[in-house]
């Protein structure tokens, strides 16, 4: 996690760096800092807490100069404090870093034994001392960075200044993301695309073990070993306005409301309504491949993992292919059996989550074919994959994922339909019904967004004091129950559990009493009767029931204490409509409690630590 930025140009660097950091604050927000070349030396400004503290300090002290670097931190080594905030300085060297230096303890002892005094608890400070030590040995900045990084194990994206070379920033990366932005007058770098969108759409994605020298009139790229590389910038189609709140109180609410548009963009050009098929060359498989897949393994973390759980149901149901889902962190941690004949689908909004990246890499190395489903174009997982099937949800800034989740569902369902058609497990009529239904989903969501928000914001007055909330669902509603619980936990800090409704009687029922609201997902599907019985069991323990029911379902509504109606859909499409009220419920509870909805405590948008 953490976000890093850099600027080399002719304008005042500090406001540009601060503005870019603001767009990266979702990556970490416990402290922040800047380093700028100023009147022959490097000046540093660091503050604890959110960026506004750095902004206030900058307004007070100023930081003139047109070359600089910046950082927003999510603490890994050392608590949030000013000394642990980046940039870290050693002599004339200043460094910002995103990642983790794995051998930092060993390097720290070596440096201390040679007389270096450390001023922080961070792993990053070690990198600044290593670079300094090399520069004292007579090397220029680029060579010093190369030699220092040769001693380091772990993940890093770094940006480095040297007082001796005031016209450049040197950057390097391994396993943490870094993108370079170019214009005619300036060169930028950042951990993620949105940070640079107000300045340029021309971006170069750095690969692992690469180093670049950024100067005002361009950049040079090489391997860490020193071999020169050439890479043309890509044009990114996202606009800066896409990363603004557009009148909404929070990014999360804006992104929930953007779901119809995000889904339309994700479906566009991919649904063949005439033939009831999915058109996509991006999947990277031919008809033979489709028939010969032995098994699908879906790898992801967090919310993306919940999307894969729905994906598994679809793959088995529609394409009759054995499918398993696995948390990427667990898959990597064991000797998983995977190899030729397996199709691994790695699902990640950011495309940079380290656990998903490493798990997918391990599977690919063992012979599996790798398909990426990601939202960030050119991110690490798609770059490594055999093929990439992007979601087109636009930049997602709220730490709690919403629109990217429903876009991931769309891609997983499209892929399942495509596969089912090729494997002969989905007949023409079934496929046409699904494709037609999917095409209508954006409208179905749109129609109920405002009424649901109104109903839920009223409802949370009664329920927002609950300490525990249970979410229950069966079939495709089970992963949505998990997602509803995760959303509530992460932004409102209320303890919530998602359960397969049939499991309630095997334990969680012991938690129930009049103080525990139970959110029951009960669309009119094949599980309806049994979910209804589970609802009655909860009700008998005096739990208050919030039903997510199909519009007009009077029978279900009579059983519930409160109800949010969702559109009636084909059973396979129910996740798209049932999850939206759960996102809104989490949002309204958090807003009611006054928590920091877009930047909840202890979390970061992109998790690049293991």
Q: What are the residues binding ligand M6R (CB under 6 A)?
A: 301-304, 348-350, 353, 356, 399-401, 490, 603, 606-607
Residue with Cβ nearer ligand M6R (346 or 563):
346
Q: Look up 588 and say whether it is catalytic.
A: no
In angstroms, give the least distance from the CB of 487 to ligand M6R: 7
Sequence-ordered list of residues with C-beta below 8 angstroms from that of 195, at least 6 positions apart, any chain: 3, 5, 20, 21, 23, 24
Residue with Cβ nearer ligand M6R (175 or 603):
603
Of 55, 31, 141, 24, nearest to 91 (Cα)?
141
Residue with Cβ nearer ligand M6R (149 or 486):
486
Choose, from 2, 301, 404, 588, the residue flagged as catalytic: 2
Contact assessment for residue 571 and residue 310, using Cβ atoms and an 8 Å cutoff: no
In angstroms, give the least distance from the CB of 411 to ligand M6R: 12
Rounded Cα distance, 479 and 576, in Å: 11
Residue with Cβ nearer ligand M6R (30 or 490):
490
Residue with Cβ nearer ligand M6R (38 or 406):
406
Rounded Cα distance, 545 and 531, in Å: 12
Contact assessment for residue 278 and residue 318, using Cβ atoms and an 8 Å cutoff: no
Residue with Cβ nearer ligand M6R (63 or 359):
359
Residue with Cβ nearer ligand M6R (562 or 604):
604
3-state helix, strand, coil in the chain (%, to 5): 40, 25, 35
- Residue spans of beta strands (DSSP E) within 216-341: 218-223, 228-229, 234-235, 271-272, 277-278, 295-300, 323-327
Tokens of 98: 């995103």
Angle 165-21-42 from CA coordinates, rounded to 5°: 25
Choose, from 254, 369, 487, 605, the residue flagged as catalytic: 605
Sequence-ordered list of residues with C-beta below 8 angstroms from that of 252, at least 6 positions apart, any chain: 398, 400, 402, 491, 583, 587, 597, 598
Tokens of 538: 């909860």
Q: Which region holds residue 246: left if phi is over 0, alpha if psi is between -120 and 50, else beta?
A: left
What H or E segment, with its residue span, contains residue 582?
helix 574-593
**Cα Rg of the chain, angstroms:** 25
- Catalytic residue numbers, as ranges: 2, 605
């Amino acid at each position: 996690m953490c976000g890093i930025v850099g600027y080399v140009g002719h304008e005042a660097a500090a406001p540009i760096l601060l503005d870019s950091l603001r767009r990266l604050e979702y990556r970490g927000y416990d402290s922040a800092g800047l380093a700028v070349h100023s009147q022959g030396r490097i000046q540093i400004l660091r503050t604890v807490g959110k960026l506004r503290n750095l902004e206030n300090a900058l307004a007070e002290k100023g930081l003139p100069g047109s070359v600089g670097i910046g950082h927003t931190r999510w603490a890994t080594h050392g608590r949030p404090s000013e000394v642990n905030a980046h940039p870290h300085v050693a002599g004339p060297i200043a460094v910002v870093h995103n990642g983790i230096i794995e051998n930092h303890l060993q390097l720290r002892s070596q440096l201390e034994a040679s007389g270096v005094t450390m001023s922080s608890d961070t792993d990053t400070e070690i990198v600044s001392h290593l670079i300094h030590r090399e520069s004292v040995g007579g090397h220029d900045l680029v060579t010093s960075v190369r030699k220092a990084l040769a001693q380091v194990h772990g993940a890093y994206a770094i940006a480095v200044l040297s007082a001796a070379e005031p016209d450049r920033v040197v950057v390097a990366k391994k396993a943490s993301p870094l993108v370079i932005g170019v214009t005619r007058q300036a060169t930028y770098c950042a951990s993620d695309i949105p940070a640079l969108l107000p300045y340029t759409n021309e971006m170069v994605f750095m690969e692992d073990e690469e180093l670049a020298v950024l100067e005002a009139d361009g950049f040079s790229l090489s391997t860490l070993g020193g071999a020169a590389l050439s890479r043309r910038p890509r044009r990114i189609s996202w606009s800066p306005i896409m990363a603004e709140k557009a009148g909404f109180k929070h990014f999360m609410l804006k992104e929930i409301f953007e779901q119809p548009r995000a889904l339309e963009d994700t479906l566009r050009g991919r649904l063949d309504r005439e033939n009831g098929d999915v058109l996509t060359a991006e999947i990277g498989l031919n008809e033979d491949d489709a028939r010969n897949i032995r098994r699908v393994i879906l790898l992801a973390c967090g919310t993306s993992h919940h999307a894969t759980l729905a994906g598994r149901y679809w793959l088995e149901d529609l394409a009759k292919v054995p499918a398993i889902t696995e948390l990427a962190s667990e898959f990597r941690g064991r000797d998983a059996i995977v190899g030729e004949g397996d199709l691994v689908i790695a699902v990640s909004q950011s495309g940079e989550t380290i656990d998903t990246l490493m798990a997918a890499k391990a599977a690919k190395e063992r012979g599996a074919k790798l398909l990426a489903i990601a939202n960030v174009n050119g991110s690490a997982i798609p770059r490594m994959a055999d093929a990439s099937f992007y979601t087109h949800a636009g930049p997602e800034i709220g730490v709690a994922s919403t629109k990217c989740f429903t876009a991931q569902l769309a891609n997983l369902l499209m892929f399942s339909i495509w596969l089912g058609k090729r494997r002969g497990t989905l007949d023409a009529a079934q496929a046409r019904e699904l494709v037609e239904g999917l095409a209508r989903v954006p409208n179905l969501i749109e129609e109920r967004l405002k009424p649901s928000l109104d109903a839920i914001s009223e409802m949370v007055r009664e329920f927002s004091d609950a300490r525990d909330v249970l979410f229950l669902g069966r079939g495709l509603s089970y992963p949505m129950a998990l997602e509803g619980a995760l959303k509530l936990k992460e932004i409102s800090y209320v303890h919530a559990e998602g359960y397969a409704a049939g499991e309630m009687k095997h334990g969680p029922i012991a938690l129930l009493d009049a103080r525990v609201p139970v959110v029951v997902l009960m669309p009119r599907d094949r599980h309806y009767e049994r979910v209804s019985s589970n609802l009655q069991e909860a009700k008998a323990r005096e739990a208050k029931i919030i039903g997510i029911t199909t519009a007009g379902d009077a029978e279900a509504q009579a059983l519930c204490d409160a109800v949010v109606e969702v559109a009636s859909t084909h059973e396979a499409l129910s996740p798209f409509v049932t999850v939206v009220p759960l996102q809104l419920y989490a949002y309204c509870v958090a807003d009611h409690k006054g928590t920091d909805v877009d930047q909840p405590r202890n979390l970061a948008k992109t998790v690049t630590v293991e």
